[in-house]
Chains A and B, each alone.
Chain A
Amino acid sequence: MLGPDVAWYVAVAAVLFGIGALGVLIRRNTIVVLLSLELMLNAGNLALIALSRHWHNGAGQIFALAVMAVAASEVCVGLGLVVALNRRNLSLDVDSLSELRG
């Protein structure tokens, strides 16, 4: 039952989340942006599971499963978009995809 204190898990999750967020903010390549998003989601999962263990409450783990499902579908849609963009020979640069600007 011993192991690192829950604070460490949360700290790792926070770092992961930060890296992910920075990736989304800075990188231009669509695939990398997607990867960074996944990173953020998993950071959330890590925090959920750690805290679930800490508080002896199963809800967090269930929630993490739900997040994984969402993440999976998100990857489907996201990669689908990337494939569609590629098929039309469009740039994968997120900055050039600004048609929906108001």
Chain B
Amino acid sequence: MTGGAWLCLLAPLGGTILITLCGTRIPRVVAAWISTVSCFVAFGGAVWAFLGVQARHAVGPVNPVTFLPAVPGRGEITTAWTWLQSGNFHVGLQLLVDPLSTVMMLIVSGVGALIVLYSIGYMDGDEEERRYFAYMSFFVFSMLLLVEGGNLLLLLVGWGLVGLSSYLLIGFWHKRPSAVQAAKKAFVMNAFGDATMALAFFVLIAHTHSLSFAPNFDVHLSSTAINLVALGLLGGAVAKSAQIPLQTWLPDAMEGPTPVSALIHAATMVTAGVYLIARTHPIFEQAPTIELIAAGTGALTLLVAGLIALVQTDIKRVIAYSTMSQIGYMFLGAGVGAYANGMFHLLTHAFFKALLFMAAGLAIHALAGEQDIRRMRGLGQLMPFTKWCFLAGALALVGIPPFSGFFSKDSIVAATAALGTWYGWIFWVCGVAGAFLTGLYTFRLWFLVFPGEPSPFVREHHHRHGRLEGALTMLVPVGVLAVLATVGGWLQWSPRWTPFTDWLAPAARTLPVAIPTNTQEYYTSAATVLAGLAGIAVAWAIYSERRIAIPAAPFWRRALEEKFYFDLLYDRIFYAPAAAVANVLRREFEEPVVLQTGSDLGEAALETGGLVRRIQTGFLRTYVLFLAAGAAGVVLAFLIAK
């Protein structure tokens, strides 16, 4: 099983290296297939590791339907070599293969392979396709390192490398200044998260001299220390998962190619924060305040992002805000202790959100790059396959049974009800309100883009690539994901049927407080589904039938369109002051003081020299005279001293 983990990790890295070294010596399509095959090999490795974990830890009766053992054991750590060592502190290059990491490996490599396959069609004809595929493979490698890393430092390494590949891919079209800006913004905000995580690790090192998972989780630090550690980890998670207040980079990240948005900014990387909380849950459990902050952040983000999504006009940005909102749900689940529920939503979300992005990508591709939904009406008539796939994704997103989102989202909201405290109920209300918003913005998108007669713009710009709605490499992954988005949720229907939670139990046990009763499950399900349907109905009334006018609230509308002014705020309080301080330092200190000191010293030396040069006449005899006078002086001095 460790062999599978290594294969899974190294195959995409091999793909990257191969494409980079071959450079322009191979045709574009070969680079694309190298990348795709490497990702599928990684998926094979993940399956191998998954089966290994299952076989090795077969304890207790095997479930008759899933063939999974009821109680999988703990994971296994495999070390390649000691990566970093100093004194008695050492960190190995090690992988952890356990239920949690194998689930993530399957998601990352599986969805990743499908999206890379999709890219072959999507990126066809781009100038620098080879670079694109090298980056994609590198991203898959980094993400796998993140989820497989067997200690906190390697987790941070993967964490940083996914940030790097995200930077590279957002800025892939580097001729566009907006893409370069967005890439830099994403990297710097993630670097901030990396920094807070590193600080958390410093606290751990100072107390335990170790960064491996096991000892840190057993050791009991002082409550200040553990709170700081949890806060630092949360900072990293919030930055990576684009939660408030570090969310502003994600919408801008849509400057990247659409498959990138599907893979990195929907299915995998942005959900890493949830994985981090699940992975380090023993730390968070010792710091309940911070855990509550995580849940609160999630609840706030899911509402705010849902509201902003209502006014966006760029198809990818709507889905991006929806991603933020859904990750808010996952944070909420992980924050209240329902780690498995959060992870389950991560899984289904990976299916339906990748599907939505890729279906949107088909539309964008067919319209030669147009992303404005106001010009897209009636696309469904020309692209029926895209339409139905998108609908499957949309229903899954809203959480309408039997689509996958229903099973995962409801269980998170039910877990908040199980808390039974006042804030538990606030979370519950947020979750249900979020479901309404989800229905509203998702179907606003749907009604604006797909049904009805094609608009003149669509008629004019729509062009087919061949006989189908897109290249076959694009349609196949979309179809596969549409099926997964539909049935993927059947893996679990709490409380009746919980193989997913059981599988994760040894790695991320659900806290007892977050296990809802059957009643709570049922009324929560009813409430969220009704809220979702209500959202759909309102969207239908406003955007399809135009029976209700959009309420006029210019202040709120403007606030939403400005994304609640976060960008402006950060510019004012971080970027502008830093730039101003740097400028002032350069103008007022560096140039007049530091750089001038040397010149001043030099000039003083020159002036002194100018005074002394008079006695340098250039006549030999003058010098000899000085010499003689000097010698005479010395002799005289001796004589007098005597």
Identify the A interface with B (CB < 8 A). Answer: 21, 24-26, 33, 94-95, 97-102
Contacts and interface: CB of A to CB of B under 8 A. Distances in A.
Nearest to B625: A25
B617 A24 contact: no
B142 to A, nearest CB: 65
A94 B628 contact: no
B111 to A, nearest CB: 79
B619 interface: yes
Contact of B624 (A24, A97, A100, A102): A24
27 contacts: A21-B624, A21-B628, A24-B620, A24-B621, A24-B624, A25-B621, A25-B628, A26-B621, A33-B620, A94-B619, A94-B620, A94-B621, A95-B620, A97-B618, A97-B620, A98-B617, A98-B618, A98-B619, A99-B618, A100-B618, A101-B613, A101-B616, A101-B617, A101-B618, A102-B609, A102-B613, A102-B616
B612 interface: yes
The secondary structure that dominates the B interface is: helix
A95 B619 contact: yes
A101 B609 CA distance: 13
Nearest to B609: A102
Nearest to B615: A102
Contacts of A21: 624, 628
Contacts of B618: 97-101
Contacts of B616: 101-102
Interface of B: 609, 612-613, 616-621, 624-625, 628
Contacts of B621: 24-26, 94
A48 to B, nearest CB: 17
Contacts, number: 31
Contacts of A95: 619-620
B612 to A, nearest CB: 7
Contacts of A94: 619-621
Nearest to B616: A102
A56 to B, nearest CB: 24
Contacts of A102: 609, 612-613, 616
A33 B612 CA distance: 27
Contacts of B620: 24, 33, 94-95, 97
B620 to A, nearest CB: 5
Contacts of B624: 21, 24-25
Give 3 closest A-B pairs by Cβ, nearest first: A98-B618, A101-B618, A102-B616
A49 B257 CA distance: 96
Nearest to B617: A101
Nearest to B612: A102
Contacts of B612: 102
A33 B617 CA distance: 18
A81 to B, nearest CB: 12
Contacts of B619: 94-95, 98
A58 B625 CA distance: 33
A101 B617 CA distance: 6
Contacts of A24: 620-621, 624
Contacts of A98: 617-619
Contacts of B617: 98, 101
Contacts of A33: 620
A95 B628 CA distance: 19
Nearest to A98: B618
Nearest to B620: A94
A29 B628 CA distance: 20
A26 B628 CA distance: 13
A95 B620 CA distance: 7
A29 to B, nearest CB: 11
B294 to A, nearest CB: 75
B93 to A, nearest CB: 65
Given A94-B621, A101-B617, A102-B613, 18 more contacts: A24-B620, A24-B621, A24-B624, A25-B621, A25-B625, A26-B621, A94-B619, A94-B620, A95-B619, A95-B620, A97-B618, A97-B620, A98-B619, A99-B618, A100-B618, A101-B613, A101-B616, A101-B618
Contacts of A100: 618
A98 B618 CA distance: 4
A98 B621 CA distance: 11
Nearest to A24: B624
Contacts of B628: 21, 25
A34 B618 CA distance: 17
Nearest to A94: B620
Nearest to A37: B624
B617 to A, nearest CB: 6
Contacts of B609: 102
A25 B624 CA distance: 7
Nearest to A26: B621
A86 B625 CA distance: 27
A95 B618 CA distance: 8
Contacts of B625: 25
Nearest to A100: B618
A25 B619 CA distance: 10
A102 to B, nearest CB: 4
A27 to B, nearest CB: 9
A100 B628 CA distance: 21
Nearest to B610: A102
Nearest to B621: A25
B343 to A, nearest CB: 82
Contacts of A25: 621, 624-625, 628
